[in-house]
Amino acid sequence: MAHEHFWFGGMWFFPFFCLLLFVGVAYLVISHLGRNRSGGTAPDSAVAQSALDILKVRYAKGELTLDEFEQMKRDIQR
């Protein structure tokens, strides 16, 4: 008789708990894989373009001479 009240009157809770656990783990795995695929590192062309934009801004501000700008631009585009 004492076992009738185990986990609120039956073992229905355990399969429900396992299902929730499985869904939670699956969600974490899928979200982690999706994040690595889309949000990892940017392609090389995007990084080079961003670096070139930064270089142009620095040249426009007068932080670089024309020779420094052209040398750094060649280095970035390699």
- Write the pLDDT tens digit of every residue in 25-71: 998 888 888 775 655 555 565 666 688 899 999 999 999 999 999 99
**pTM greater than 0.85:** no
Confidence at residue 18, expressed as pLDDT on a 0 to 100 scale? 84
Confidence at residue 63, expressed as pLDDT on a 0 to 100 scale? 93
Helix, strand, or coil (residue 45):
helix
Nearest to 47 by CA among 75, 73, 70, 76: 76
- pLDDT of 2 higher than 80: no
Confidence at residue 66, expressed as pLDDT on a 0 to 100 scale? 95
Gap between the Cα atoms of 75 and 65, Å rounded: 15
Confidence at residue 29, expressed as pLDDT on a 0 to 100 scale? 86
Gap between the Cα atoms of 69 and 63, Å rounded: 9
